[in-house]
């Protein structure tokens, strides 16, 4: 009954967006809001992979997603890849391909599909007209549906499910680890934890600091020491909440880097920190039975 109630609430939360907008396919290239992209941008080729757009049924509609996996073998461990505020653009697709090269079935659903197309909007529009209208309950249901889609494919081993996300998606990693015990581990790259940067609202009633004691899967937080949106006091609070709960989850702070240090297409990219954080995430997943 509890699961049915959660589904109903998510459906109700999604209804306004479903009546007014539904993005039916992913765009190509990088999001409009991040142009021009940096010369340091990483491009992972598709050779040896099966990669491209798929449709995920969720809450009565089909949302577009990007999927990448090895072209042969399987079933593969699964990685849910959660977008930044810029949507499922080329960087997120490339992250999926990077995981696929490591032997994963990686999939990134467009979690804004009912509220707008972040890949074609400017930053003010994304921040005021799209992101605030995306209900957390809808996101949780869409990720449940994406996991079910992967399981039905026959190519994915959802018993070895991981989740990772960046910025907006980093917050979602923490919330999803509290929502369900399906993931075996998560890695959250500089996701908002709470505080002034994310006051509670009807659509976003809880933040990671509120669910630190309710995590059902271990999460590794990978955070920046020079992040104006996520200051050290809120990171320290999250660490304290995790410790008080006896959680295996933890946060590592890279002291001299800014928010977005893994985003190789942006000026915030810091190659050394990005490489180290990526390696730590892979080790975390393997240690927790995902890889």
Closest by Cα among 169, 174, 160 to 213:
174
Residue 24 has pLDDT above 70, yes or no: yes
Strand duo 76-82 + 61-70: pairing: unpaired
Supply the pLDDT for residue 197: 83
Percent of the chain with pLDDT over 90: 90
- Residue 112 confidence class, pLDDT cut points 50, 70, 90: very high
Residue 184: per-residue pLDDT: 98
In the set 167, 179, 262, 264, the catalytic residue is 167
Q: Taking 80 as the threshold, does the pLDDT of residue 199 lie above it?
A: yes
Active-site choice (89, 179, 259, 262): 259
The token duo for 226 is 């020079």
Model pLDDT for residues 26-80, shown as the tens digit of each residue: 989 999 999 999 988 999 999 999 999 999 999 999 999 999 999 999 999 999 9
Question: Does the structure show a pLDDT above 70 at 15?
Answer: no
Mean predicted confidence (pLDDT) in 226-247: 96
Alpha-carbon separation of residue 248 from 31, 162, 181, 185 (angstroms): 36, 16, 14, 10
Nearest to 273 by CA among 215, 190, 205: 190
pLDDT at 12 over 90: no
Q: Is the peptide bond between 36 and the residue preceding it cis, with omega within 30 degrees of 0? A: yes
Residue 243 φ/ψ, nearest 5 degrees: -65, -45
As a whole number, the mean pLDDT across the chain is 93
Given a cut of 60, whether residue 7 has pLDDT beyond it is no
Active site residue 227: yes
Residue 279, Cβ density class (10 Å: 0-12 exposed, 13-18 middle, ≥19 buried):
exposed
pLDDT at 101 over 80: yes
In this prediction, residue 18 carries a pLDDT of 40
Residues 254-284 have pLDDT tens digits of 999 999 999 999 999 999 999 999 999 999 9
Q: How many CB atoms lie within 10 A of CB 96?
A: 26
Rounded distance, CA 31 to CA 110, Å?
13
Residue with tokens 């990077």: 98
Does the active-site annotation cover 264?
A: no
Note the pLDDT of residue 243: 97
Going from N- to C-terminal start, the domains of the chain cover 2-287
Q: Note the pLDDT tens digit of each residue in 122-179.
A: 999 999 999 999 999 999 999 999 999 999 999 999 999 999 999 999 999 999 999 9
- Residue 209 confidence (pLDDT) above 50: yes
pLDDT classification of 17: cutoffs 50, 70, 90: very low
- Whether pLDDT at 218 is above 60: yes
Q: List the catalytic residue out of 94, 110, 144, 227.
A: 227
- Partners of 185 in the beta sheet? 162
Classified by CATH at the fold level, domain 2-287 comes out as Rossmann fold (3.40.50)
Reported confidence tier of residue 20, pLDDT bands at 50, 70, 90: low
């Amino acid at each position: 009954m509890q699961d049915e109630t959660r589904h109903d609430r998510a459906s109700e939360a999604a209804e306004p967006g479903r009546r007014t907008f539904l993005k039916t396919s992913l765009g190509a290239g990088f999001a409009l809001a991040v142009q021009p992209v940096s010369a340091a941008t990483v491009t992972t080729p598709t050779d040896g992979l099966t990669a491209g757009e798929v449709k995920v049924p969720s809450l009565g509609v089909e949302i577009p997603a990007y999927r990448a996996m090895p072209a042969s073998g399987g079933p593969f461990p699964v990685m849910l890849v959660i977008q930044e505020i810029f949507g499922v653009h080329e960087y997120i697709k490339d992250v999926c391909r990077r995981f696929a090269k490591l032997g994963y079935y990686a999939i990134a659903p467009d979690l804004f599909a009912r509220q707008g197309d972040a890949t074609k909007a400017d930053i003010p529009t994304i921040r005021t007209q799209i992101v605030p209208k995306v209900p957390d309950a809808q996101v949780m249901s869409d990720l449940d549906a994406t996991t079910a889609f992967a399981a039905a494919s026959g190519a994915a081993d959802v018993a070895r499910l991981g989740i990772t996300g960046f910025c907006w998606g980093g917050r979602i990693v923490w919330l999803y680890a509290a929502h369900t015990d399906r993931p075996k581990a998560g890695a959250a790259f500089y996701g908002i934890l709470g505080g002034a940067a994310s006051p509670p609202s009807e659509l976003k009633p809880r933040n990671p600091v509120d669910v630190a004691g309710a995590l059902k899967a271990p999460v590794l937080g990978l955070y920046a020491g020079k992040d104006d949106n996520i200051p050290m006091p809120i990171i320290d609070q999250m660490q304290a909440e995790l410790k008080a709960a006896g959680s295996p989850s933890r946060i590592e702070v890279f002291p001299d880097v800014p928010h977005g240090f893994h985003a190789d297409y942006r000026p915030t990219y810091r190659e050394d920190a990005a490489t180290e954080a990526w390696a730590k995430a892979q080790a975390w997943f393997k240690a927790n039975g995902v890889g």
